[in-house]
């Protein structure tokens, strides 16, 4: 008659039943629900007092534009009343607005800019 080795207990032959009660992990496949984040454009506004050179430097510094591009954006704002300096996620756009307003206040210029959701 066969005897069990006491150091190795018998392997249980219990198999969980199919359906409820077993340890099976059910992975449901779902369609993607995440939408890309809403982007925001930072729009700079024209005024009659802020020097053109200051606006160009601000656009270069805070929106990483080269001098020629910054000058074109500044002139567009000057002629049309407003212009987009960059498009970012909401928090980054808000930070850009703060940086521009802070620099304008410190220099004593009335330059204004706002962030608005992109359509
Ligand atoms: N209109 C200003 C001037 O003639 C220049 C200017 C450009 C000011 C763009 C603000 O966002 C601005 N000095």
42-69 confidence digits (pLDDT tens): 999 999 999 999 999 999 999 999 999 9
What is the predicted pLDDT for the residue at 99?
98
Judged against a pLDDT cut of 70, whether residue 31 lies above it is answered with yes
Strand duo 39-45 + 112-117: pairing: antiparallel
Q: What pTM does this model have?
A: 0.76
User: Regarding predicted confidence, which is higher, 50 or 19?
Assistant: 50
Atom of ligand 1 nearest to the CA of 113: 11
Residue of 45, 47, 48 to test ligand 1 pocket, by largest number of atoms within 8 Å of CB: 47
Q: Looking at the DSSP assignment, which residues form a beta bridge with residue 113?
A: 44
68, 18 Cβ separation under 8 angstroms: no
Q: Hey, what CATH class is 39-117 in?
A: alpha beta
Report CA(61)–ligand 1 centroid distance (Å). 17
pLDDT digits over 8-17, tens only?
444 444 444 4
């Amino acid at each position: 008659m066969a005897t069990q080795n006491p150091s190795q207990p018998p392997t249980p032959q219990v198999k969980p039943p199919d359906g409820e009660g077993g340890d099976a992990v059910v992975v449901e496949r779902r369609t993607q629900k995440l939408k890309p984040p809403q982007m925001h454009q930072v729009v700079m506004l024209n005024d009659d007092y802020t020097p053109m050179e200051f606006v160009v430097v601000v656009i270069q510094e805070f929106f990483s534009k080269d001098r020629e591009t910054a000058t074109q954006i500044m002139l567009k704002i000057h002629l049309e009343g407003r212009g987009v300096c960059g498009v970012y996620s909401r928090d980054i756009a808000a930070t850009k607005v703060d940086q521009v307003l802070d620099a304008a206040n410190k220099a004593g210029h009335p330059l204004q800019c706002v962030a608005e959701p992109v359509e």
